[in-house]
Amino acid sequence: MTEASPPTRLPDLNPVEAAELLERGEAVLLDVREPQEWAAGHAPQAEHLPLGQVTPAAVPQAQPVIAICRSGNRSGKAADTLAAAGVRVHNLTGGMKAWAQAGLPVVTDDGKPGAVA
């Protein structure tokens, strides 16, 4: 047997845990939803990169990444892809629906209140 490399798929986070990491500047939030979903509303500090464009080269890697989508499914796929390439990454369980339900901000690009599409 060969020795396994250190895990890069970090534990899944709930919205409150993710928000705390983001507030401390200890992670990057990566929204992997489609452009129309992003336009309807997203977390203020998120960076947008649709799932089909997620590659390790396209993702900031200085800090752990927190992947988020609408429900947690697509972001889980993004997290698996990135972790397989050595990126330190969490998945946000429940996605933007859980983020909004936790009372965390959802905004549009112009900073106005947004909605989860």
Q: Which residues are catalytic?
A: 69
Running DSSP on this structure, what letter comes out for residue 7? P
Running DSSP on this structure, what letter comes out for residue 51? G
Asked whether 15 and 102 are in contact (CB, 8 A), the reply is yes
Asked whether 115 and 88 are in contact (CB, 8 A), the reply is no
Which amino acid is present at 90? H
Alpha-carbon gap, residue 78 to 65, rounded angstroms: 10
Distances (CA, A) of 54 to 37, 51, 81: 16, 5, 8
